[in-house]
Structure 1
Amino acid sequence: MPYVVTRSCCADASCVLACPVNCIHPAPGEPGFATAEMLYVDPRTCVDCGACTTACPVDALKPHDALGAGELPFLELNASYYKDNPHADRAPMYVVPRQRAVLADGLSVAVVGAGPAGLFAADELLRHPGVRVTVHDRLPTPYGLARAGVAPDHQDTKQVAELFRTIESQPGFRYRLGVEIGTDLTHADLLRAHHAVIYAVGAATDRRLGIEGEDLPGSVSATDFVAWYNGHPDRARDDHRLDTGRAVVVGNGNVSLDVARILTADPDALARTDISDRALAALRGSGIREVVVLGRRGPAQAAFTVPELLALAALEDVDVSVEGWPDDLAPDHDEKTRLLAELAARTPVGGRRRIVLRFLAAPVRIVGEGAVRALEYTPTTLHTDDDGTVRARPTGEIRTLETGLVLRSVGYRARPVPGLPFDEATATVPHEAGRVEPGVYVAGWIKRGPTGFIGTNKTCAQETVASLLDDFAAGRLTPPVAGGTAAPDALGLEAWRAIDRAERAAGAAQGRPRVKFTDAESLRRAATAVPAVTG
């Protein structure tokens, strides 16, 4: 009864460490670790002990005889990895991090950003005795995109919050939530109060299409749309036009598939999740019957991952079809194209909502007067550059899709961090192994761009923290000024726990994991049982 990884896991290596026979790969130190879409269990050497399931923070591992119908393809997916990537040498490859000696008066570090990147950085720091970490965030709640970016129908992925709760419970950890750096405190304030600052602020905005009509009402950033249905305080009061029969999503990454699933999902199923109440009410009245997902290039270049495609293929009450297949692409080119070819061969069922994956289609113009009425696009052909890059070239033919809602989902983009250099081309802070300069560091998307998965932030944080500790050991960090600078009306760990308890209690009363508080007033009110902290 081998165990199986059943989704894009967090890849933080917890299961690798727990496995007594080293049958889960790629492991730390191996090619592909932290960049692979998921980890894989070798069915030939798994001894069915179940240790991996206990260690997994997102409940991604299951015994093969407990798989649901939609999860059965993961059995072959796990096994096929080892056909292409044999692991004859099964000696454990994980190196236990060396603890660093820290001076008796300790090392104080500020982390800006309480998402996965910031919390993994805090965890890496707190592995070393004598370190104190203060994690700041503009919002009254932590966890970043793990709270406000993961789709509500992926509740298993949100279980990574259990790992974050373990991190924030360590001695030496504290929160200062509801504090905006640059407004409530400055970069200079943080440097005075700490030996070092790590910025893990992510990528808060989206990339634009750069086409006419992009600013019409009904043309929306998928980043904002995801934040809306997840109850992010910045977007919770938004309204979106759902009275149209068709929505168009431009871009074909995982976020595009998330948006397409939510727009076509059964509202009664969504009502059992932590989706925003406002979004749920809007989706109950939605007229959308079809979502078209446009990709400039072909199926082989699609940015979504195989696990997310499998989740889409497993939908029982939504038709999924594929259009725009290059003539010279074999349907068994790789696992992704094989799955897409299977979807393309399906026979639609009348009366269902529909998701169309349309490849070789580039947006040209959004049409409308006062609101979106249609999207014009051009078919494309594929051409390979000398360096192997496959590019889409427009044919010039113009086709029209009638729609009242266009969502652009062509990537996240970071904002400049006040006081730090910024590369406009890559939308990242220039650095060397996470070091901007001694005392100032970056981790996560502001460091490497919007790439990777939740677990990618772990190895990213390890590199940054190693640079910081090297600078501390070499005496390159300036000791903090006694007393530091107070953070006004900041919420600490106990305040966040009070919010968490209140949301869970409200959810339990409705048979849901939680009901999120989506505005600053209700969040602060939920935290009032615990006083704000001032230091």
Structure 2
Amino acid sequence: MRHIAIIGSGPAGYYTAEACQKQFGNDVAIDMIDRLPVPYGLIRFGVAPDHQSIKAVSRRYEQVALSDNVRFVGNITVGDQVTIEELLSLYDAVVLATGAPVDRALGIPGDDLPGVIGSAAFVGWYNGHPDFTDLNPPLDGAAAAVIGNGNVALDVTRILAKAPAEFVGSDIVTHAFAALGNSAIRRVTVVGRRGPHQIAMTPKELGELGHLQRAVPHVDPADLPPEADDAALDPGQRKAVGHLRSFATLTQDKDVAVDFDFYARPVAIEGDGKAERLIVERTRPVGDGQVEGTGETYAIPCGLVVACIGYRTPPIPGVPYDDRAGRFANSEGRVPVDGGNLYAVGWARRGPTGTIGTNRPDGYMIAESIAADHPQAANKAGGPGLDSLLAARGADKVSFADWQRIEAAEAARARDGAPREKFVVVADMLAARDA
């Protein structure tokens, strides 16, 4: 029997488990290890709570999880309760599928002021991640700035701008729902250093901003390139820029204004003991999608700054790390360690790029690499060896059946119209399991 451990139970982890099942058939036993008692990673904690259709992909992962040769081993932290070296000795292959859940720093003066928050933290707060339950973002000011021109920036902007009634059917957690319902924010400025043709926003997500009950998006027509230039874009980009062009024609006012500020590079955050304004430098295009600073600066008043500029994979003791790229050191997913049985997949391999579905071919590539590198099983201890080690250390591991009890309890305590009310404290998750 071939034994494979996958660290992380998000999309990359489950697609890799599915690929290993197809690669090795019944001759494989797969343990999916996660530091939290709940699975699905980015699907649970990253996808916006009002995008339930995207979260539905977890049902596909559930089918994999319920297979006879796949186990969920939750509430176990690799590097604490078990080391990488120990896992490498227990399994034929160990796959790092931990994603990239750590915010990249802005790296400008004032980025450490209260009120400056990374998108991983802010999204984790409204999605009920235990690490960010107590974030308490300042929503008592009149304005917020969102730095970035990708879909995460759109998610953050939309959540800040929505009316409470628009969260019906979502699984936004109660503490965030209540705080956002009392928010004083009436202007959200979306800041990007380049122009409309360089956005990484998809048409569906961008189009949603034009249909909010209490918010209206604005684009300065002067920031838009000549419409004829849109012909050089791919169809998705062209449609997205079309939304921006339509926003530039909107004249109505609503309670919340969403202002797109293109060609604006953040250079500092200022305030008296907290964020009060974002200082940006006006940029100009210099060809091939690049920009240069003009030297002109101005201030955007804001009591909250959310930086949506990318993520990093947290290091794990014993794993070679590429600090510049913010991910595990690897060559086509192979992480250089003795024995050659450590791999990385998804964002932990390539950095935070692509969509959820991009992780599927990534997982299949790694399964093929494992088969090529280790054509024969090594007769290792696998899951039973891990169980013995964790039991000796008093670790309280969570099974998939345990998770199903937690999930049922979340559904039972949901607000009217909501699919679930997530537990946001690990102890409460474990109490629900044991109830």
Which TM-score applies when normalising by structure 2? 0.92
Name the CA distance, whole Å, in 1 between partners of 2:99 and 2:21: 21
1:520-535 pair list within 5 angstroms: 520-529=426-435
Aligned equivalent of 1:362, options 265, 289, 292: 265
Distance 2:59 2:321 in 1: 34
Residue type at the aligned position of 1:382: P
Q: Is the contact made by 1:298 and 1:325 (CA closer than 8 Å) also made in structure 2?
A: no
Q: Distance in 2 between matches of 1:239 and 1:177?
A: 27
Q: CA deviation at 1:281?
A: 1.2
* Offset, 1:502: 0.7
Structure 1 unaligned regions, length at least 5: 1-105, 530-535
1:328 shift after superposition:
4.6
Q: Which residue is equivalent to 1:112?
A: 7
Residue 489 of structure 1 pairs with residue 396 of structure 2: yes
Q: Does the 8 Å CA contact 1:206/1:221 hold for their aligned counterparts?
A: yes
Q: CA deviation at 1:170?
A: 1.1
Letter in 1 for 2:73: R
Match runs of 1:31-180 below 5 Å: 106-127=1-22, 128-180=25-77
Displacement of 1:168: 0.6
After TM superposition, list the pairs within 5 Å mapping 1:198-213 onto structure 2.
Answer: 198-213=95-110
* Match in the other structure for 2:372: 470
**Cα distance in structure 1, aligned partners of 2:72 and 2:426:** 17
CA contact (8 A) 1:193 1:481 kept: yes
Shift of 1:235: 0.4
Alpha-carbon offset, residue 326 of structure 1: 4.2
Measure the CA separation in 1 of the matches of 2:224 and 2:417. 49
Deviation at 1:298, TM superposition (A): 0.2
- Deviation of the 1:494 alpha carbon: 0.7
Match of 2:421 in 1: 515
Between 445-454 and 425-434, the greater mean CA deviation after superposition: 425-434
Alpha carbons 1:435, 1:468 under 8 Å: kept: no
Q: Distance in 2 between matches of 1:380 and 1:410?
A: 17
The residue aligned with 2:408 is 501
1:346-379 alpha-carbon deviations (Å, 9 max, x no partner): 2223x43121111111111111111111111111
Q: Following the alignment from structure 2 to structure 1, what is the Cα–Cα distance between the partners of residues 156 and 208?
A: 13
Instruction: Report how far residue 276 of structure 1 moved.
Output: 1.3
Residues 1:249 and 1:343: Cα distance change in structure 2 (over 3 Å) = same
Contact 1:332–1:338, Cα closer than 8 Å, also in 2: no
The aligned runs of 1:264-413 (5 Å cut-off) are 264-323=161-220, 325-326=222-223, 328-330=225-227, 333=230, 334-349=238-253, 351-384=254-287, 388=288, 390-413=289-312
What is residue 144 of structure 2 aligned with on the other side?
247
Q: Do the aligned partners of 1:218 and 1:405 also contact (CA within 8 Å) in 2?
A: yes
Cα offsets for 1:88-147 (capped at 9, x unmatched): xxxxxxxxxxxxxxxxxx111000001100011111112222111000001111101100
1:221-262 superposed Cα distances (whole Å, 9 cap, x missing partner): 111000000010000122111011110001111010101000
Q: Give the number of equivalent residue pairs.
A: 416
What's 1:65 paired with? none
CA distance in 1, matches of 2:35, 2:247: 43
Q: Which residue pairs with 2:348 in the alignment?
A: 446
Q: 1:332 offset after TM fit, Å? A: 5.8
One-letter amino acid of the counterpart of residue 484, structure 1: G
Instruction: Give the letter aligned to residue 86 of structure 2.
Output: D
**What letter is aligned with 1:227?**
G
Displacement after TM superposition at 1:325 (Å): 4.1
Cα distance between partner residues in 1 of 2:229 and 2:62? 42
- How far the C-alpha of 1:208 sits from its partner, in A, is 1.5
Q: Which of 299, 316, 327 lines up with 1:428 in the alignment?
A: 327
The CA distance in 1 between the partners of 2:224 and 2:364, in whole Å, is 45
> Aligned partner of 1:119: which letter?
Y
> How many angstroms does 1:481 deviate by?
3.9
Q: Does 1:479 align with 2:379?
A: yes
Which one-letter code corresponds to 2:425 in the other structure?
A: D
**Structure 2 counterpart of 1:457, one-letter code:** N
How far residue 470 of structure 1 moved from its aligned partner, in angstroms, is 1.2
- Asked whether the equivalents of residues 246 and 405 of structure 1 are also in contact (C-alpha less than 8 Å), the reply is yes
Distance 1:522 1:233 in 2: 10
- The residue aligned with 1:460 is 362
Aligned to 2:235: none
Distance (Å, rounded) in 1 between the aligned partners of 2:222 and 2:240 = 13
- Structure 2 distance, partners of 1:457, 1:236, is 28
Q: Distance in 1 between matches of 2:167 and 2:197?
A: 31
| CA distance in 1 between partners of 2:223 and 2:411 (Å) | 48
Preserved CA contact (<8 Å) 1:192 1:484: no
Question: In the superposition, relative to structure 1, how do residues 524 and 331 fare at CA in structure 2: closer, same or farther (>3 Å)?
Answer: farther
Match of 2:321, SS state, is: coil
Shift in Å at residue 396 of structure 1? Answer: 1.0
Retained in 2: the 8 A contact 1:324–1:359?
Answer: no
Contact 2:16 2:367 in 1 (8 A): yes
Deviation at 1:336, TM superposition (A): 2.4
Deviation at 1:472, TM superposition (A): 2.1
Give distance in 1, aligned partners of 2:381 and 2:61. 30
Q: Structure 2: which 5+ runs fail to align?
A: 231-237
Q: CA deviation at 1:317?
A: 3.4
SS of 1:502's equivalent in the other structure is helix
**CA spacing shift, 1:329–1:421, aligned 2, 3 Å:** farther
- RCO (CA 8 Å, sep 6+): is it higher in 1 or 2? 2
Q: Deviation of residue 290 (structure 1)?
A: 1.1
